[in-house]
Amino acid sequence: MNFNIEKVCGIVVPIITPLIKDQSIDESSLIGIVNHLIEAGVHGIFANSTTGEGPCLPDTDKKLVLKIIVEQVKNRVPVYAGVSDTSSKRTLNNIAQAEDLGADFIVAHPPFYFPPNSQEELYMYFEQIVHASSKPVLLYNIPFTTQAPIALETIKQLLDFEKIIGIKDSSVDYVFLQNLIELKNIRKDFKIFIGKTHMWAAGVLSGADGGLDGISNVIPEKCVELYRRIKNEMKDVFILQREINEIFRIYECRSFLGGIKAAMSLMGLCNPYTMHPILMASPDEVKRIKNILIEWGILS
């Protein structure tokens, strides 16, 4: 797919990575989920994300996941590939692999394990990514996992790189989000995805470009419909936002990944297995998740 900035918007799904009991990739379920999401009208698929357990997967499995997704998407929507790692060198190797496999965009958050000591380190890291990548780059701000927030001033400096086309912000900081939206006064083409479902309606109405959160694996149609209502300025936007917020309660488990996979298992889309040592949903949690899905008409 040729780069088209107009396609960088809407509901991009950080697709889960379905597993079988021995922790290997459930290829048939992954194929089914890709097609399920595209048929629901999503605007992009993000491989090897946080929700996709990307940092937990062996390198060979990350390669397999991206390969399957690209082959199944067949240019119907853009494919975003997570490439972040513990060092610049490992990240650049991941970029080369993602390019070879046909990803349309790469997504990079700060390196983890050794959190950057300064914004100067972060700037250098992203500068190296830009120079190494032939694909457009989406920044990913997720301080909860990286312990390394990307400062607004650093993002502003990175706007000088045309190849950096936007950011996924999972800071869950509405003031920071508003400040990101103000950066559009510097670069109108800079795209902003909101990584917290509860902020989608208010954020997109304020000028963000879309939503990127794991709940869209479970209820892609509702998420796409919410985006449609926002863009068409329909009066019942916040009614649907509240409904999605209630369904989001499936996250309230000992592991949110266990919650998502339990829900999708109940829907017949995959097994409930998570990458060890991440815990699957407990039997009591599965019962609660099932009740939520029944309450909101997702299961009968």
**Model confidence pLDDT, tens digit, residues 215-240:** 999 999 999 999 999 999 888 999 99
Q: Provide mean pLDDT across the span 24-42.
A: 98
Return the CATH number at 104.
Answer: 3.20.20.70
Reported as a single tens digit per residue, the pLDDT across 99-131 is: 999 999 999 999 999 989 999 999 999 999 999
pLDDT in tens, 234-244: 889 999 999 99
Q: Is residue 254 part of a domain?
A: no
For 130, list phi and psi in degrees, rounded to 5: -60, -45
200 half-sphere exposure, CB direction, 13 A CA radius: 35
Element (H, E) at 79: strand 79-82
When divided into structural domains, the chain yields a total of: 1
- Strand 44-47 and strand 191-194: the pairing is unpaired
Angle (CA) 171-177-180 rounded to 5° is 115
Position 239, amino acid? I
The letter for the amino acid at 160 is: D
**261 is a domain residue:** no
| 257 falls within a domain | no
In a domain, 126, yes or no: yes
Long-range pairs, 221-225, Cβ under 8 A, ≥24: 221/40, 221/41, 222/247, 223/11, 223/42, 223/197, 224/10, 224/11, 224/40, 224/41, 224/42, 224/43
Decide: residue 208, CB within 10 A, 0-12 exposed, 13-18 middle, 19+ buried: buried
The pLDDT-based confidence of 5 (bands split at 50, 70, 90) is: confident
Neighbours of 27 (CB within 10 A): 14
181 is a domain residue: yes
| 242, part of any domain | no
Residue 62 counted as domain residue: yes
243 assigned to some structural domain: no
Average pLDDT over residues 169-189: 97
Tokens describing residue 204: 């997109």
Question: By residue range, what is the domain housing residue 93?
Answer: 5-232
**Under 8 Å CB-to-CB from 57, ≥6 apart: which residues?**
17, 48, 65, 275
The C-alpha atoms of residue 126 and residue 128 are separated, in whole angstroms, by 5
